């Protein structure tokens, strides 16, 4: 594996992140492994399903919180874990459906509401639906019914035809019939309230990942190396280093689509 001179001495070769409040360290992670693969095969968190494996069905959705370099705060949103490279989760806090609730710990209000509305048949899509709704309510506790519907445009259910699922999720809306369920208190939404702000934080502040990641990551397996430069200088230096050789490289951002280098320069 080539050593990047700019990052040598300050980089790390292990990933550190949190899943459902537990801290994990993964030494020399495999750059070809996805987050969904790791959750299912390494941690037995099989509530996160994988079907299409290409970002089209939503059954693999998990919620993530990570430092926002733009303002020093944090960003929270849902991602398709089937597309999310494991190597990209350094410093993240990840919430899977197991982190929301279950049979032993007690079901989360969103899980209960989905069941009350008969929104689950085989249940394969349900974890992704639940986590997606959790992501929306964490950002906007009282969405409109239209906003709920829009938020589910990346989800597919093969069984129920969506109506009972959307009915269940829309029952959390500000403009829904209160007799059908009504909005949810933020205290009921999550156990993870920021001790400082009192807002939903998913443990990020508690776990100390507020602020920006300052360390570069450098790891590799099976002939593939992964770098996470943290400054533009590091990025340009890496590009220079690899453009002169015969190596192929790609810049990974959301990883929802791929284009070749010519496309990027057009
Ligand atoms: Fe279908 Fe990830 S498995 S979006
Ligand atoms: Fe079967 Fe949605 S309940 S895929």
Best residue among 59, 126, 156 to mutate for probing ligand 1's pocket (most ligand atoms within 8 Å of CB) is 59
CA distance 239 to 244: 9
Helix 126-139 × helix 109-116 angle, to 10° = 130
Q: Which residues of the chain have pLDDT under 50?
A: 1-10, 195, 202-214, 264-266
Q: Which domains does the chain have, with CATH numbers?
A: 2-99+208-243 (3.10.20.30), 109-180 (1.10.150.120)
pLDDT digits (tens, 9 = 90+) for 74-118: 889 999 999 999 999 988 999 999 999 999 889 999 999 999 999
Ligand 1 centre and the CA of 62: distance in Å? 11
pLDDT confidence of residue 12: 65
CA distance 177 to 171: 7
pLDDT digits (tens, 9 = 90+) for 239-252: 888 776 677 788 88
Pocket lining for ligand 1, CB < 6 angstroms: 50-53, 55-60, 80, 82
pLDDT confidence of residue 217: 64
pTM beyond 0.85: no
Alpha-carbon torsion (125, 112, 108, 167), positive or negative: positive
| Strand pairing class (74-80; 93-95) | unpaired
pLDDT confidence of residue 3: 35
Pocket lining for ligand 2, CB < 6 angstroms: 120-126, 157-160
CA distance 170 to 43: 32
pLDDT confidence of residue 19: 96
């Amino acid at each position: 594996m080539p050593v990047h001179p700019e990052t040598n001495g300050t980089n790390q070769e292990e990933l550190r992140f949190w899943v459902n409040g537990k801290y994990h360290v993964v030494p020399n992670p495999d750059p070809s492994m996805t987050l969904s693969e790791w959750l299912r095969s390494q941690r037995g968190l099989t509530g996160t399903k994988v079907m299409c494996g290409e970002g089209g069905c939503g059954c693999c959705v998990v919620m993530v919180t990570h430092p926002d370099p733009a303002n020093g705060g944090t960003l929270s949103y849902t991602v398709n874990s089937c597309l999310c490279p494991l190597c990209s989760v350094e410093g993240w806090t990840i919430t899977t459906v197991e982190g929301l609730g279950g049979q032993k710990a007690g079901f989360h209000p969103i899980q209960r509401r989905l069941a009350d509305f008969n929104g689950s048949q085989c249940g394969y899509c349900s974890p992704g639906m639940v986590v997606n709704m959790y992501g929306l309510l964490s950002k906007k506790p009282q969405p409109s019914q239209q906003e709920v519907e829009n938020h589910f445009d990346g989800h597919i259910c093969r069984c129920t035809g969506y109506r009972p699922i959307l009915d269940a999720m829309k029952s959390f809306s500000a403009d829904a019939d209160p007799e059908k369920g009504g909005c949810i208190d933020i205290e009921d939404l999550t156990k993870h309230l920021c001790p400082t702000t009192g807002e939903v934080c998913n443990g990020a502040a508690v776990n100390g990942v507020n602020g920006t990641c300052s360390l570069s990551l450098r790891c590799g397996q099976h002939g593939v190396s992964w770098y996470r430069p943290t400054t533009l200088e590091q990025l340009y230096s890496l590009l220079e280093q690899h453009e002169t050789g015969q190596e192929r490289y790609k810049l990974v951002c959301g990883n929802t689509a791929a284009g070749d280098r010519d496309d990027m320069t057009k």
